[in-house]
Amino acid sequence: MAGCGPRMENVHLIVGLGNPGSEYARTRHNAGFLVTARLAERWRASWSYEKKFDARLARVQRPEAGTTLLCEPQTYMNSSGDAVGAVVGFYRVPLSKVLVVVDDADLPLGELRLRPAGSSGGHHGLESIEQRLGTRNYARLRVGIGRQPGARQITGYVLGRFDSTEAKLVDKVLNVAADQAECWLTAGIQKAMSQFNGVVNGSETEREAK
């Protein structure tokens, strides 16, 4: 993918997927946005809307990871690849330094699963990114949101907001997901997978069996 922006020696891109607009704020489908927002808050990074990407970006300089870009596509979920492809191309981000954070209804609420590559699993945001980048070979952090018991259609559920009984767990999950993304930046994907993949239980994570 040809780039036309500044060449950076060390640049990482963390993308949170979701839908823009107040009606979608803090919905289950916006789990990716919630994680990138938590990172921006933690790093005291400021967001700006960049029209050429149709995305919100925040930039930080981290001694151990160089320039880190946080990205929230404003294209709506099903066209996420348009924004991601534009940012990757413009900044010439190697795919090995791209992490996409996404909700996953096939994982129970509270479970995190980071993988270096893989299929979309039917997630339209990941499908769009795969189509635009032309590959499945980019890291993705899946944040479990669960499914409504007994329901076959999940659209209404994933577009709904977390309820009050889930708030405490969701806050812990966002913190651990942000920790995992930071570990990916500083120590690499294998360390981030072995240390954080699993179910967030209280203040700890049940680590994935090695």
- Listed by start position, the domains of the chain span 11-197
Contact 69, 13 (CB under 8 A): yes
pLDDT at 58 over 80: yes
* Residue 29 is a catalytic residue: yes
Sort 80 into a burial class: Cβ within 10 Å, 0-12 / 13-18 / 19+: buried
**Main-chain phi, psi angles of 184, to 5 degrees:** -60, -40
What is the model's pLDDT at position 201?
A: 72
Which residue is catalytic, options 12, 29, 123, 124?
Answer: 29
Q: Is the pLDDT of residue 193 over 50?
A: yes
Burial class (CB in 10 A: 0-12, 13-18, 19+), 184: buried
In this prediction, residue 148 carries a pLDDT of: 67
Q: What is the pLDDT of residue 205?
A: 55
Residue 84 CA to residue 81 CA, distance in Å, equals 5
Q: Indicate if the pLDDT at residue 126 is higher than 80.
A: yes
Using DSSP's 3-state secondary structure scheme, residue 192 falls into helix
**pTM for the structure as a whole:** 0.91
Q: Is the pLDDT of residue 137 over 80?
A: yes
Task: Please compute the mean of the pLDDT values over residues 3-27 and round it to a whole number.
Answer: 86
Read off the pLDDT of residues 107-122 as tens digits, 9 standing for 90 and up.
999 999 999 999 999 9
- Per the prediction, the chain carries an average pLDDT of 91
How far CA 108 is from CA of 27, 56, 103, in Å, comes to 16, 29, 11
> In terms of C-beta density within 10 A (0-12 exposed, 13-18 middle, 19 or more buried), how is residue 151 classed?
exposed
The answer as to CATH 2.160.10.10 being correct for domain 11-197 is no
pLDDT computed for residue 203 by the predictor:
42
Give pLDDT tens digits for 141-164.
999 998 866 555 566 778 899 989
pLDDT value of position 100: 98
